Amino acid sequence: MSHNSFGHLFRVTTWGESHGPAIGCVVDGCPPRIPLTEADIQPWLDRRRPGQSKFTTQRQEPDRVKILSGVFEGMTTGTPISLLIENTDQRSRDYGDIATRYRPGHADLTYDLKYGVRDYRGGGRSSARETACRVAAGAIARKVLGPDVVIRGALTRIGVHAIDPARWDWSIVNENPLFCPDAATLPQWEDYLGEIRKAGSSIGAVIEIRAEGVPAGLGAPIYGKLDSDLASALMSINAVKGVEIGDGFDAATLSGEDNADAMRMDGGVLSFGSNHAGGVLGGISTGQPVVARFAVKPTSSILTPVASVSREGENVDVMTKGRHDPCVGIRAVPVGEAMMACVLADHLLRHRAQNG
């Protein structure tokens, strides 16, 4: 049991605070003889990196990953892979306010309630910076899964504006800073987010992650279900408040007839008429695309003052100055993909263990 580890056979342990010397992770259980260099990991980190558009925080971090162990002559050895990312943008500043006042909606309060102490610099351990480690681990998980498993994500909603799934176009997702899959919605989002940013406000979002090429049979009854582990993985991302598989909450409104995924043999191959189930039945993958969605709340770091309390028990108002992320959901896309990759890699090994 570990609060800072994830997965069972493909097991990721992360460590580090926002403003300490470095953050990092240890990936244990990776199969041997997989070609791996830092160049396999860095592009995924670059995609998550802040400061690449006006819609994300202007914090500048090169996020250069170093492999410290577990790889020899460009190949995994089966021993733990230690990854390290130095923190370089530890801009000297006064944390006085955050140190003594709890930002509403942040983990400031609860860390103090739990531990009686916290590293308040830049959010400390609760900083979204930790998700860089997830992305790095996810890059390795993709190598374990191999090229046939394709994991992609996109934003499907920012605040009140949802995309039209009928216009979904994967080819534009990585070409715009909002990971928007709907060309018609993109300009709408840009205007909307621009207003929010100028107002010093923030807004929530929904992200969809889709894994194609997942072999049938991954997952396990009863408490090792693939969707159960996905729910845990996605809910563990900062600011996530909801997770869906397949039709998700919409399934609650459907009749059995409308929710049924008809099956047919098609040239000796099993095919489905629809994918309401999101690729998972009874906790086990069907071979259809695995589809998950998660909701990210608006960051509570806003310019409008909010009533709060101080460490000393005084009533105070808190407003957040300085660098600002109007929609933290944007950068959650690569993180969600990485968590999907880690869950699938773990279940691939788990399946192989029991079923040979």
Count of CB atoms within 10 A of residue 234's CB?
A: 26
Interactions with a second copy, residue window 34-63 (CB under 8 A): none
**How far is the C-alpha of 290 from the C-alpha of 277, rounded, in Å?**
9
Which of 53, 68, 164, 194 lies at the binding interface for a second copy (CB under 8 A)?
68
Binding of residue 21 to a second copy (CB under 8 A): yes
CB atoms inside a 10 Å sphere around CB 176: 17
Q: Can residue 72 be called a binding residue for a second copy (CB under 8 A)?
A: yes
What residues contact residue 327 under an 8 Å CB cut-off, 6+ apart?
55, 158, 193, 196, 202, 203, 204, 205, 298, 299
Could you say whether residue 314 binds a second copy (CB under 8 A)? yes
Q: Is 96 in the site for a second copy (CB under 8 A)?
A: no
Q: Indicate whether 75 belongs to the interface with a second copy (CB under 8 A).
A: yes
Q: How far is the CB of 167 from a second copy (least distance, A)?
A: 19
- Nearest approach, Cβ of residue 52 and a second copy (Å): 22
Which residues 6+ apart lie within 8 Å of 192 measured at CB?
158, 159, 161, 203
Q: Decide if residue 147 touches a second copy (CB under 8 A).
A: no
- Asked if 329 is part of the footprint of a second copy (rule: CB under 8 A), the reply reads yes
Q: How far apart are CA 272 and CA 276, in angstroms?
A: 10
Task: Say if residues 227 and 277 touch (Cβ distance below 8 Å).
Answer: no
What residues numbered 184-223 form the site for a second copy, per CB under 8 A? 196, 201-206, 216-217, 219-223
Closest to a second copy by CB, 165 or 175: 165
> Which residue in 16, 138, 153, 334 binds a second copy (CB under 8 A)?
16
Measured from the CB of residue 53, what is the shortest distance to a second copy in angstroms? 19
Does residue 166 belong to the site contacting a second copy (CB under 8 A)? no
Q: Does 338 bind a second copy (CB under 8 A)?
A: no
148 is a contact residue toward a second copy (CB under 8 A) = no
Tell me the two tokens of residue 338. 């990485």
Rg (CA), the chain: 21
